[in-house]
Amino acid sequence: MAAGGVDSSGRVSHLYRKFGPAIYSRCRRLLKDDALAEDATQEVFVRVLRHIESAPDDASALAWIYRISTNFCLNQIRDRGRQAETTDPSDIPEQPTEHPEPTMMDRDLALKLVSRAPEKLRAAALLYYMDGLEQEQIAKTLGISRRTVINRLQEFTERSRKFLAREGDAA
C-alpha cells in the first residue's frame, strides 16, 4: 500500500485523472501529433506506475511526471530524427508541397539544444522557451527557487552558445 492507504494502481489512476490532460498537452506540444501524444501519455503513466514508490506527494507530482513526459518525448523526437537520417532518398518528394517555415527550424534547433542539455537544465529550458512559462511559474512547477531557475536558464544559454559556436566552426 502506498501513502494514504491507496494501492499503487489506485494512486496512478488518481494521478492520471488529475494530471493526464496536462501531460497529454505537454506531449502534444513536443511531438506535434495527436496519436503520438496519446501513446506517449500512456507510456508516461506506465513509467509512473513502475516508479510509483518513489513518486512525490501530489503537490510535487506534476513536476515529477512532467519531467518523465519531457524526457520520453525528447527521446521520441531524437529517435525519429535518427530514423529520418536513414530514410531512403527515393522516398523524399523532389518538390516540397510547402515551404518549411523558419519557426520549424527554430523549433528543431531548440529541441536539439534541449536534448543535449543536462537533465537539471532541460526541464527549466523547456518550460521557459517551449511552454512560455514565467520564471516564478517554473520555480513552482519544479519545486525550486526562482534564483535557481534564473541560474539554470543562464547556464542553458551559455551551453547553447558554445554548442552553436562549435557547430558553426565544424561547418
| One CATH from 1.10.357.10, 2.40.10.340, 1.10.1740.10, 3.40.50.620 for 1-85 | 1.10.1740.10
pLDDT digits (tens, 9 = 90+) for 86-129: 444 444 444 344 443 444 446 677 777 887 888 788 888 888 87
pLDDT at 84: 53
pLDDT-based confidence at residue 57 (cuts at 50, 70, 90): confident
* Residue ranges covered by each domain of the chain: 1-85, 101-171
pLDDT at 20: 93
Return mean pLDDT, the chain.
79
- Hey, do 1-85 and 101-171 end up sharing a CATH topology, with the first three levels equal? no
pLDDT at 134: 87
Output DSSP code: residue 3.
G
pLDDT at 44: 95
pTM (two decimals): 0.58
pLDDT at 149: 94
What does 6-69 look like in DSSP terms, one character per residue?
A: --HHHHHHHHHHHHHHHHHHHHHHHH--HHHHHHHHHHHHHHHHHTGGGPPPHHHHHHHHHHHH
CATH 1.10.10.10 fits 101-171, yes or no: yes
Quote the percentage of the chain above a pLDDT of 90.
29
Whether the per-residue pLDDT at 59 is higher than 80: the answer is no
Per the model's pLDDT, the better-predicted residue between 6 and 127 turns out to be 127
Which residue's C-alpha cell is 519545486?
143
- Average pLDDT of span 68-96: 64
pLDDT digits (tens, 9 = 90+) for 141-154: 778 899 999 999 99
